Chain A
Amino acid sequence: MDFIKHLFQLYKSKDQFKFVLPALILSIGFLFPSGAFAQEDAAVQAGKKLFNANCAACHKLNKRAVGPALQGVSAKYDREWLYSWIKNSTAMVKSGDAQAVAIYEEYNGSVMTSFPQLSNEDIDNIIAYTDYTPPAPVAAAATAGAVATQSAGSSLSNTIIIGALALVFLILIIMLFLVQKTLLRIAAASGVDIQPEPKIKRTPIWVSFAQNQFLIIVTVVLLLLSSAYFVYGYFMQVGVDQGYMPVQPIHYSHKIHAGANQIECKYCHSSARVSKHSGIPSLNVCMNCHRNIAEYNGEEDLENGYTKDFYTKEIKKLYAAVGWDETNQSYTGETQPVKWVRIHNLPDFVYFNHAQHVEVGEIACQKCHGPVEEMEIMYQYSPLTMGWCINCHRETNVKVESNEYYAKIHEALSKKYGVEKLTVAQMGGLECGKCHY
């Protein structure tokens, strides 16, 4: 009780906290920017939805993509013209409309998809969205000094908190020391004589230990056993690269692709369906999406420095490799194949087939590769040792349903082993020659 009281007094007297608290409050304030969007009207909201569904594949608001940037498009063209253009641009180009032909030629004759399903009202909404400039954030109105703190806000407050805690502990130690001193003084004052206990001469423990042969033998045996254990462990991990997480030439985040964007593994690693290799996707597969996604706009991980800028730069690396000219939206033909660092390396004498496991066995990729959708940087999740393979073969049942190939074999084998379901091992999955040839 006394202690808390003391601390409270201390808090009152020290002035560091005066700085800490407002800073904390300030930073919390920035995490929840003012509710500007609450005031948006319904048209803009509806337009945004429509824009993302129909237009975003080819258009950006303020940057040229496959098609022109759309911000402020209503100022450039007549509203009626826009209606008919969006609903059927081809017809307009054919009819020889000067504006239509001009834009058709500017974009090298690439035809804009027609959207006859959009009503005029929909188009109005879209235009409202493209015309809409979000009001300047409140934060901008704050003083320049505050903006400066904002950028460094979170890391600064952390340091301050840790510093404060350290101080508290220091004070505690000093206090304890003071208390003991006071108690001693009180004791002296009250005439209590506190004598340190007299030291008895004993044989030091290490001497008695050295003299005990039994103990020495036991210790030596234990030491030998434990060192053997560690030596064995060391040798067994030679060549096992579990957790291998090399730096890749392009920071490709499975977390963003497979996690946040929910892209199916086999969309990119398509040969896993048919081939022994899962395959590193060729760059044209990346460009299926990244033709339109030139910037990263998702969540950031500031602690590790994964800012939007960082990710966008990685996308630019892809463009450089595949030879994509962003300004002209065309391929230059100058390519620079990416030299990825291979993570999962099986020795040459092992034959592993992805199709067998992924397609026939319907094993989820994550079973061996781990939570890929959570991996910012890809790493080897499983040890890929033979024991690990064999264990799984012992435990996993063969997927025989609706596979004509297995029908007869499965019937006969399950009768033989008297089981309902057969494991891979029972199907012969432990034979040496199944994987080594």
Chain B
Amino acid sequence: MSDQKKYMASNKTYWKNIAQLDPSNETVQKLEHNEFVSKLPEDFLSDEKTLEESSTSRRDFLKYVGFSTAAATLAACEGPVIKSVPYVVQPERIRPGIANYYATSIADGFDFGSILIKTREGRPIKVESNPEAPTMGIANARVHASVLSLYDTLRLQGPLANGEDISWDDFYLQVGAMLKALAATNKEILLITPTLPSPTTQKIIGDFIAAYPNIRPLTYDAISCDAALNAYEAYYGKRALADYDFSKAKAIVSVDADFLGDWQGGGYAKGYAHAKTPRGVAGKAAMSKHFHFESNLSLTGANADYRMPCTPADQKNILAYFYDRLVLGSAGQLAEGLKPMADQALAALTNAGADGVIVSGIEDDTAQAVILALNTQLKSKAFQPESPKLIRQGEAKAVQQALESITSGTVSGLITVGVNPVFTTPNGKALAEAIQNLEFSLSFTSKLDETAAASRFVAATPHYLESWGDYQFKSGHFALAQPTIRPLFDTQQFQDVLLRLAGQNTKYYDEIKNHWNESILDGSSWSKALHDGYFSIEAEQLEPINPDLTTLDTTDLKTASTSGMSLVLYSKTGMGDGQQANNPWLQEFPDPITRVSWDNYLTISMTDAKALGLTNTNTSNGALNGSYAAVSVQGKTLKVPVVVQPGQAQGTVGLAFGYGPRMGLKKEMQTGVNAYELYHNFERIQEVTLKSDSGEHEFACVQLHNTLMGRGDIVKETTLEIFNTQDKKYWNPTPQVSKNHIEFDVTSPEVDMWEEFDRSIGHHFNLSIDLNACTGCGACVVACHAENNVPVVGKREVRRSRDMHWLRIDRYYSSATSFEGDNQTKEEISGIGDSLNTFGEMEQAAANPQVAFQPVMCQHCNHAPCETVCPVAASSHGRQGQNHMAYNRCVGTRYCANNCPYKVRRFNWFLYNKNDEFDYHMNNDLGRMVLNPDVVVRSRGVMEKCSLCIQMTQKTILDAKLKGEEIKDGTFQTACSNACTTGAMVFGDLNDKKSKVAALHEGDRMYHLLEHVGTKPNVMYQVKVRNTDDKV
């Protein structure tokens, strides 16, 4: 008190601001007594009355929270009540837990093939190749993925009229009336179908046209094969394609024919790989030699022994040169830059004689005629024009005219069947408007696509796995399709609708059966044909109707030249013509060449990219970014992201079909740009102008390092010459390690740190991967997805390197012109400065690199580094050689992934099923129907990886036990080895000394990946042998 007085007496006044000194300031005076100037609003929280009246107090609230938490916890301890509903009448063939296989066929206008469908409890879950089918018994990545398209939630669920749902009865009433009215006034209706090599369907269409003569049928291939069809038709009198058997070829020259991809319908990989693998006695092994001229780096080009990037005009010149030299016998003319390689190819062809074959994908009638002439001249055994393929029949010019007549309004009606010209032609918008103005338009489709949306009537068609069908893939080679599930939606097949509209009372199935019994089977059993899925007859051998191929006018080819840039449109391995763009497996499937998923992009050569200022960069977490280019073709400009592509011919850029935002796609699948907008006149090659555009595109690329840096022991390769003349130790040495200053083979037990398991008893599974036979096609990748319930994680997560593929196919480019060159460069590095510089340079791929593919999955090491570091022993080893992963035991430390030298373990960063953040097939009931019930769906926070399909090996063993018999070689399979039609992947029991895999294990070409680490894997590779002329 006294202190205070003392201070007061000093007469000092402390103040906070100058306003305080003014006694008349009301605000300041108020603040002397109150905290706030103005009174707080009464209902700041609530007025007292409300608070008192409220029945819920704060304590009550806490009580409720507490109670509900406790209740939820307790409830979680109780197991849920699970209901089981058995059949009322169980179908005889369905036994829960047992898979049934059906032979059927796919023919969607782009992909064709005889396949097997695995069904469980009546739902198709996997596609497999039909190995017994004599033709097209090969399923590619897209066909493997097609089973998921069956469970697409965006499929049409019933017919529509003017955009409204309608019953089929009303549909028939209205469509029938309109057709009759149009027929009465004889107004023309176009019927546009894709290639339908179906004998019965052609008969039904014929009958339909007989009933409505004003209908004109047309065949339309979204990606045309017109030139080859025209050339064949001109010389053999049938609109078809010559077939090739590459297994009979010793010299293959391809001028822009991506025959391992989708060239002329594909399906050639098996024969090619057979000839590409060195065979024969030691020292005299032989294999085919493959020369390739192309603009984009294709799958086929990547597999070639010699590859030359050149522009489309150069390719034409080369073909003309070949024609001059081989057919006319004249000297010919060719630019200096092209001549050496062309001459080399020519020499190989001449040497091989009848064992040589030449193919081309150039969309030019003369060029395709030249191919016929050259192969005829060579008397090529691989060239089989006498029994042609019928899987491409599109008439580009007629379709072009027809579409123009729709736009100009000279036709009155349009029926489209499974084609979407509004999306797949450049003038889609105008076409859509024109279709809307037609008197009559009907679209048969399984998706509400652009054409269907413009049409007045939409007939919902079933998926091919719900349909009947018959096909003739190749002259004399027939195939049958049968439903493997009841139609999921209210859909009807195109053929059934036509039959009913034509007033016939039969179904497509009856028609097929009748037609086959009458004209095809010739007394053979229908049931057997249906069971097998295929039927072959001796077809007539086609003879050329115009055998003179020596008078071709090749002036156009010779004089072809380009001044500007050429755009080369192509179809990607994963997407094809884009029919299955809503399939998450295919979207996430990394392109074998660029390794980019979820996108299409402009591939451009390094030189051109530099000149235009286009770059690819890697962000801090490694993810790939690319600049945008403005791509203009005939006045139409697209903004396309750029991937700088080693091996791309200078002066050319590539762009893939099938992508781009459109109807019938989920938001996540709306990726890339629509290349069809630039596909004028069905010409794959377009003149293009390029400019750099603003912005940066984020890619989801799964491989961020493209070269091997001279580490030749990862992809071991040699040349045929060395392979034949040198000892194994020279070209496939076993790595050495030193112990007590003595060198030992790393495989020797002397240097083992672990006790060896005894694996001599029972089965010991091994997988062999032949790098010669592997074309990188990726069928195994999708098959693995389907078999093992591998989740789809989406673009954002792939970009973060969180892709879940159990099996990846690494693609490496050489930094020098060959991988051997890389090895030498690395050897010659001396000193730290040099190593820094040179290694930096070696990260860049060459302008025309050698390419190698290497499928990598869990190597199932006998001395697995992952097993020793797992703190909970979730990863353990089985006696049968498989490295087991117990998901329920895994706590997600990820030590194993960090300790894995092969980087094959995948971590579930999120819950990928029943999670709206990952709205792919596992997020809806329909999509989940594709899941394999024998394999668990992993949850968040656990590690997963390849199991060597233990569910399949265990099933094989159980079947043998039930039958009480020994297991024969070839019975053991994994999803990937089963999907591998080239024979690159061989799976089997090493303890069965007579097995194929045991022989491969003892072979000279066998090596293990990173063998020097001493992991002793159960997956082995076979050294890649190139048929190039490099000697020791």
Contact = CB atoms under 8 A, between A and B. Distances in A.
19 contacts: A271-B98, A274-B962, A275-B98, A282-B88, A285-B90, A339-B85, A340-B85, A342-B82, A342-B84, A345-B79, A350-B888, A351-B951, A356-B961, A402-B964, A428-B878, A433-B878, A436-B887, A436-B936, A437-B950
B951 A340 contact: no
A342 B876 contact: no
A348 interface: yes
A405 interface: yes
A165 B243 CA distance: 101
Given A275-B97, A279-B86, A345-B79, A433 B947 contact: yes
B517 interface: no
B47 to A, nearest CB: 48
Given A347-B888, A428-B879, A433-B886, A282 B936 contact: no
B88 A322 contact: yes
Interface in A344-362: 345, 347-351, 353-356, 359-360
A428 B882 CA distance: 12
Query: What are the 7 closest A-B residue pairs judged by CB atoms, nearest first?
Result: A433-B884, A275-B97, A282-B90, A282-B87, A277-B97, A432-B886, A280-B86
A360 B958 CA distance: 8
Nearest to A287: B89
Contacts of A2: none
B87 A337 contact: yes
Interface of B: 77, 79, 81-90, 95-98, 758, 760-762, 874, 876, 878-880, 882, 884-889, 934-937, 947, 950-951, 954, 957-958, 960-967
A354 B958 CA distance: 11
Nearest to B874: A432
A356 B90 contact: no
A339 B81 CA distance: 11
Interface string A326-341: 0000000001011111
A281 B88 CA distance: 9
Contacts of B89: 282-284, 335
Nearest to A321: B88
Contact of B882 (A356, A402, A433): A433
A337 B966 contact: no
A46 to B, nearest CB: 40
A280 B966 CA distance: 32
A238 B79 CA distance: 9
Contacts, number: 157
Contacts of A340: 83-86
A28 B916 CA distance: 70
Contacts of B98: 271, 274-275
Given A428-B879, A434-B954, A338 B961 contact: no
Given A428-B880, A437-B936, A341 B82 contact: yes
A353 B958 contact: yes
A407 B961 CA distance: 11
A302 interface: no
Interface residues of A, number: 58
B761 A412 contact: yes
B958 A341 contact: no
B152 to A, nearest CB: 25
A296 B76 CA distance: 41
A354 B937 CA distance: 21
A354 B96 CA distance: 12
Given A274-B98, A349-B936, A404-B966, A282 B876 contact: no
A276 interface: yes
A431 B87 contact: no
A404 B937 CA distance: 35
A409 interface: yes
A406 interface: yes
A433 B876 contact: yes
Contacts of B950: 433, 437
A5 interface: no
Interface in A414-437: 416, 427-428, 431-434, 436-437
- Point out which of A335, A359, A360 has the most chain B C-beta atoms below 10 A from its C-beta: A360
A348 B87 contact: no
B962 A355 contact: yes
Contacts of A432: 874, 876, 878, 884-886, 889
B81 A283 contact: no
A246 interface: yes
Given A412-B760, A432-B889, A404 B87 contact: no
A413 B936 contact: no
A95 B613 CA distance: 101
B757 to A, nearest CB: 11
A15 to B, nearest CB: 55
A434 B965 contact: no
Contacts of B79: 239, 241, 244, 345
Name the residue in B86, B98, B758 with the highest tally of chain A Cβ atoms < 10 Å from its Cβ. B86
A42 to B, nearest CB: 45
Contacts of B961: 356, 360, 403, 405-406
A408 interface: yes
Given A409-B762, A437-B950, A338 B85 contact: yes
Contact of A335 (B81, B88, B880, B951): B88
Given A277-B97, A406-B961, A428-B879, A341 B83 contact: yes
A351 B761 contact: no
Contacts of A428: 762, 878-880
Contacts of B888: 347, 349-350, 436
Contacts of A283: 86-89
Contacts of A271: 95-98
B81 to A, nearest CB: 6
Most buried by A among B89, B882, B966: B89
Nearest to A239: B79
A271 B96 CA distance: 7
Nearest to A399: B961
A341 B77 CA distance: 18
Interface string A243-279: 0101000000000000000000000000100111101
B755 to A, nearest CB: 15
Contact of B96 (A279, A348, A416): A279
A276 B962 CA distance: 12
A72 to B, nearest CB: 37
> In the complex, which of the residues B85, B87, B876 has the most CB atoms of chain A within 10 Å of its own CB atom?
B87
A238 B888 CA distance: 16
B762 A276 contact: no
B90 A284 contact: yes
B88 A284 contact: yes
A431 B77 contact: no
